[in-house]
Amino acid sequence: MISTLEKDVTFRFLKARKKDGFLNVISIFSFIGISLGVAVLIIVMSVMNGFRTELINKIIGSNSHITVKPYENTININEIDKDLKDISKNLILSNSGEAVIVKTDNTKGILLRGYESNEFSKLKIFDNKKFIGNNNILKKNNISIGKELSFTLNLDIGDSVTLLSSVGIETIIGNLPKQKTFIVSSIFESGLIEFDTNIAFVNLETLEQFFNLDRNERNLEVYLNDPKDIEFQKSIVQKNFPNDFVYSWADMNNSLFSALKVERNVMFIILSLIIIVAAFNIISGLTILVKNKTRDIAILKSIGVLNKSIVKIFFLVGVIIGTSATIFGIILGVTFSMYVENLRQFLSTIFNLSLFPEEIYFLSTMPSEINSFSILIISLCSILITIIVSIFPALKAAKLDPIKSLKYE
């Protein structure tokens, strides 16, 4: 417990006095350093959390949540159990192959994905308001391409393109790649530039004819009600297809998210150093405070104040500075995190800079996701550092000899 005397003396020592000018400067720098460290850490963690969430949303909005590739037997949707039916929103058969798309002088290698005409509209990518064209049907000579690919090849709805298959056909002059002309029926925009540049959709039967694929080679794409709880649901799918290869969107992007996690942890450590450096200023400030308050400490001891009370007083001074700086940093960090996109736009306009370029980060806006648990961890770490650095000066104050202190005053 903290006595009334300890509280009164603590707040008296915290009050600024003219003769304590240098001490006040150190305290202010400690406060500012800790506040900025906490604020920057919250902002960076919020942006990285937001970036990860947005990236996940775009990935699961553009790809199958779980894919089953058959090894031997043909996949039969009618044989799945109740558990898989309960967790799945759509079960769609598909196939794919690599091709080259040709438009006058331009060529581009792409991945063709084939779907049944009536299944095409079930893909989440076509819920996007930026989708142009008809998503209700995918005729045998139609192709749906990404916005970036349409820019690259200067294509629009109704234009014709030639596709070259990776499968060859025998002719009198040798083996030549298959080619077929398609009409652009729709243009989609997933928000992932790599996806919009390299993926195109065609009719499933047309694709299988184009690549000489068998119906038995069709994959099963599982679209889940809750695609973020992926590992448990993947196990349910694997149980239904024990002899087939089952992989999820998380498996396909494992290296990307591992890199993001490492980067996030490294940033946390680096930015935590700012808080640590600022907190060590508290040691300097409290040490100077102890020296300046030598007479006060001696008087307190002479009237019977115990050493543990002296420790508490100086310990509280350091903790109050650190805690108040942490609270201010949280307010600052949360506020900036909420308006980080507005700040980005403002700085981009003022300095004519391209901050957070879309072609690098796959996103048109700077995302931010404020995580309460992250803020709690940052706050506790900051306060814990403050507590640790406040102990040494407080113990030093308690060791002062009141007789010697008054003698040299």
Do residues 386 and 34 touch, judged by C-beta distance below 8 A? Answer: yes
Dihedral Cα 369, 375, 376, 379, nearest 10 deg: 180
Band (pLDDT 50/70/90 cuts) for residue 362 is: low
The answer to whether residue 137 scores a pLDDT higher than 60 is: yes
Contacts of 283 (CB under 8 A, 6+ apart): 389, 390, 392, 393
CA separation for the pair 245, 251 (Å, rounded): 12
The answer to whether residue 382 scores a pLDDT higher than 60 is: yes
Band (pLDDT 50/70/90 cuts) for residue 51 is: confident
pTM more than 0.85: no
**Residue of 283, 231, 387, 377 whose CA lies nearest to 26:** 283
- Mapping DSSP to helix (H, G, I), strand (E, B) and coil, where does residue 214 land? coil
Comparing 129 with 86, the larger pLDDT belongs to 86
pLDDT tens-digit profile of 68-115? 988 877 777 777 788 888 888 888 889 998 999 988 778 889 999 998
Q: Cα 45 to chain center, whole Å?
A: 8
Percent of residues, the chain, with pLDDT higher than 70 = 86
Least confidently predicted of 255-259, 268-272, 276-280, 356-360:
356-360
Q: 254-292 and 294-302 are packed helices; what angle lies between their axes, rounded to 10 degrees? A: 70
Comparing 53 with 112, the larger pLDDT belongs to 112
Per-residue b or e along 179-189, where b marks 16 or more CB atoms closer than 10 Å to that residue's CB: ebebebbbbbb
CA separation for the pair 267, 262 (Å, rounded): 9
- Helix boundaries (H) for 147-186: 147-153
CA separation for the pair 78, 45 (Å, rounded): 45
Comparing 289 with 376, the larger pLDDT belongs to 376
Do residues 304 and 5 touch, judged by C-beta distance below 8 A? Answer: no
Q: 307-338 and 254-292 are packed helices; what angle lies between their axes, rounded to 10 degrees? A: 140
Dihedral Cα 151, 156, 162, 163, nearest 10 deg: 60
Long-range contacts of 135-140 (CB under 8 A, 24+ apart): 135/186, 138/185, 138/201, 138/202, 138/203, 139/185, 139/203, 140/203, 140/205, 140/206
Percent of residues, the chain, with pLDDT higher than 90 = 7
Q: Mean pLDDT over residues 330-341, rounded? A: 89
CA separation for the pair 15, 19 (Å, rounded): 12
The answer to whether residue 343 scores a pLDDT higher than 90 is: no
Q: Cα 83 to chain center, whole Å?
A: 31
Comparing 282 with 370, the larger pLDDT belongs to 370
Q: Mean pLDDT over residues 337-350, rounded? A: 80
CA separation for the pair 40, 334 (Å, rounded): 10
> Would you state the pLDDT for residue 405?
54
pLDDT tens-digit profile of 155-182? 889 889 999 887 766 666 656 778 889 9
The answer to whether residue 217 scores a pLDDT higher than 50 is: yes
Q: Where are the beta strands (DSSP E) in 136-173?
A: 142-146, 160-171
Q: Cα 372 to chain center, whole Å?
A: 15
Q: Mean pLDDT over residues 214-223, rounded? A: 87
DSSP string spanning 21-44? Answer: HHHHHHHHHHHHHHHHHHHHHHHH
Band (pLDDT 50/70/90 cuts) for residue 22 is: very low
